[in-house]
Amino acid sequence: MRAVADQRGSGIAIDEYTIRGAAELPATLAAITQAKPDALIVDNELFLASKAADIAAAGLPAISGGREFAVAGLLVPTAPASSTSFAAPEAISTAS
């Protein structure tokens, strides 16, 4: 995703955050919130889907995959609930 944004010269900065387990989620969400991104992209990974309500509670505009995220209150689901990927949330902000 970062390569495509760079290639297009879109002025979009993408910061990737890795979460290795449930214990890291609160601190990672706090770091993302503190970075004040314009939006959050959350991959449709089983662990993240199980934490959809916690991610939505961060209050950031977000897009994501799967019904779990839409039900939890994230902005836009981008994929059916059955798709799976293995990346952590990425925060996006426009370059100033």
pLDDT band at 26 (very low <50, low <70, confident <90, very high): very high
Residue 32 contacts residue 91 (beta carbons within 8 Å): yes
Report field, pTM of the whole predicted structure over 0.75:
no
pLDDT category, 89, cuts 50, 70, 90? low
Token pair listed for 78: 């981008």
pLDDT confidence band for 6 (50 / 70 / 90): low
Strand (E) or helix (H) holding 77: strand 76-77
Domains of the chain, by residue range, sit at 2-94
Burial classification of residue 11, based on how many CB atoms lie within 10 Å of its CB (0-12 exposed, 13-18 middle, 19 or more buried) = exposed
The two three-digit tokens of residue 96, written as one number = 């100033």
pLDDT digits (tens, 9 = 90+) for 29-73: 999 999 988 888 888 888 888 999 999 888 888 888 778 888 888
